[in-house]
Amino acid sequence: MSEFRHIVRIASTDLKGEKQILVAMKKIKGVDVMYANMALSIAGVSKIKKAGDLSDAEVEKIDEALKNPTSNHVPVWLLNRRKDYETGVDTHLLNADLDYEKDNDLKRMKKLKIYKGLRHQWGLPVRGQRTKSNFRKNKGKGLGVKKKTSIRK
């Protein structure tokens, strides 16, 4: 058995070795429990195994399953970037790639003056929530009634 590691690096992210691998993988940006479960099933690694107990070969298998889900016939509904705007390809993005694409999508929506882009630009809720009583932090601080100050000589 290999030696216990306190930090395991998967998908350019440091994971705590004390946690179960299924829970530890949630720290990777773009990976939730369902996606982590899928990657571990493809790699053939136990979900309750501690991350620090993984061998180098298992880490490589998990990394490969995370980065290339389409080569392992993962269903499309599990991916986070379906029908990309520019390429039309279904992919799953992780870490910095996810931030970059999200930022580009927002910039494109603002440039084209799409309703969602304008709501993002104005700092208002995008998905149809009510704004009368909620989201007040964006409207400025309420001051109430000010007293008139008089200058005495």
| Blockwise average pLDDT, block size 10, the chain, 153 residues | 82 90 92 92 91 90 90 88 88 91 92 93 87 72 67 72
Place of tokens 């704004």: 131
Q: CA-to-CA distance for 5 and 85, rounded, in angstroms?
A: 41
Q: Note the pLDDT of residue 72.
A: 85
Domain ranges in the chain are 7-77, 78-129
- CATH top-level class for 7-77? mainly alpha
Q: At 59, list the tokens.
A: 């880490």
How much is the pLDDT for 136? 75
Q: Give the separation between CA 67 and CA 78, rounded to whole angstroms.
A: 13
Contact 116, 124 (CB under 8 A): no
Residue 23: its pLDDT value, please? 92
pLDDT, position 151: 76
Per-residue pLDDT, 138: 57
| pLDDT for res 134 | 78
pLDDT at 141: 60
